[in-house]
Structure 1
Amino acid sequence: MADTAAPPIAAEDIAVPPAPAEPEYASETLYIQNLNEKIKIPVLKASLKGLFKSYGEVLDVVAHSNLRMRGQAFVSFESADIAKKALKEVRGFPLYSKPMQISFAKSRSDAVVKKLDPSTFDTHKARRLEHKKETRYTNPLKRKFKAKKLAAELDGTSAAPVTKRPNVQMPDEYLPPNKILFLQNLPESVTKDQLMALFSQYPNLYEVRLIPTKKDIAFVEYIDEGSATVAKDALHNYKLDGENKIKITFARK
């Protein structure tokens, strides 16, 4: 009986699964979602700029408080390569306790066009405004709001103007990024060496300062705001003594 064993398979005949595909395009602008909606817009913009500026010049940060844009923002850089690196390394970072969802924006921002292709800026802006005008009330919620507002005006029942809110001091939790962190609720037995060991886990630590007359607070300074932000988000509510949670906020400027 003839030998019917199959011939050996050559290495070049073995199918190799394709490598994961890179995104089809990269933009200079990142589109960020799942941001903490409780953070005030000026604070959120400052936090995003402080976080991303370590990758390169941040041309602009766009965020709005309206219903359509709540929890979203756009961060623009001067090149797509910078944006690509930032997307890869920052995606999922828990800014204000919510992991960021990051993708490339579908179109160039005003800041990018003005910086990289200023001769086309007027045309770009005109197209954007025209698109905004065409789609302004395509959202069902906006149509409903516009109809209610119009009906109220016709009935003479439109709401009274909102009085200006009093000027109050911003809570510690919403202070803009700072390279100096303010620590509260520390164990009174804490030492400078303990805090140095804890915060030196994160790069660019510069100094730790204890307050001799107030042992439950301290200041921790980093070289830049981005490094301080990383340490703050990682160690806020950390139980240094296994019981009490450390409160960490940005120091007031």
Structure 2
Amino acid sequence: MGSSFQNFQRPQQTDQPLQLNVANMAALGATPNTGIPPNPTVYVRNLEERIKIEQLKEALEEIFSEYGTVLEIVAKRNLKAKGQAFIVFDNIDSAARAIDEINGFELFEKPMVLDYAKTRSDATVFREGGSDELEAHKRRRLAEKERKQAHEALEAQKKLKRPGVAPEPARPTKMAKGAGLKPTPGAAAAVIPDEYLPPNKVLFLRDLPDTVSQESLSAVFGRFEGFQEARLVPGRKGIAFVEYESEAGAISAKEATSGMPMGDAGKPIRVTYQRQ
């Protein structure tokens, strides 16, 4: 083994390798069979978080490449992803052998916990379905992420309400300015922030330059799949709506244009989903 992972302890050949594997996993409070369907991507957790990402990926590459062709190793620096990695093989058999033989053994003095990944990796999707399927896969993942964020934002607002305290009487409903905007509810109702609204096929644009026209918006947003129309709001500057045939086109457009500078001043525009 290379010096980058001298602390990796390779599984020893025994007459009962699976029993040894289960014993190691039991010590970690986990089981090697979680019911996730076999697939070519191995999910690795309980990795040493203090190791640099480049060094960690190099170690994982050399370890797992002995079990088959590794298409990709995904390991990120952000807080939620620390201590985890995904090893993408080109076939399920390689992933299965790696899980059976490496599960519970130490890398950088910490026992690795292995299982199949819950979802297909980008590399696997591209390999099996090509670029079109990969783009659709990314749109579905982004939509699911935004739905989850919307749900979490709503739950967080609900928790802010103190139990046992009667809510204040609702104030008279205020109408938001501009056509197409829904009235805002009273103070007692939880409202999802615009940034976390769940995806739908209509985008709401704000902070547009005064000089923007329907034609210029159509030129920008018409590049995305299923574009139908861009609508300025009569009598209101700086806002507009863009509609697509389905959520997929709106998701792609929002991802690509949110914060995009527009106009002579180069001021970034705000792009969210229309409140339903």
TM bucket by the smaller chain? 0.3 to 0.5
Q: Which has the higher contact order (CA 8 A, sep 6+)?
A: 1
Q: TM-score, normalised by structure 2?
A: 0.41
| TM-score, reference length from structure 1 | 0.44
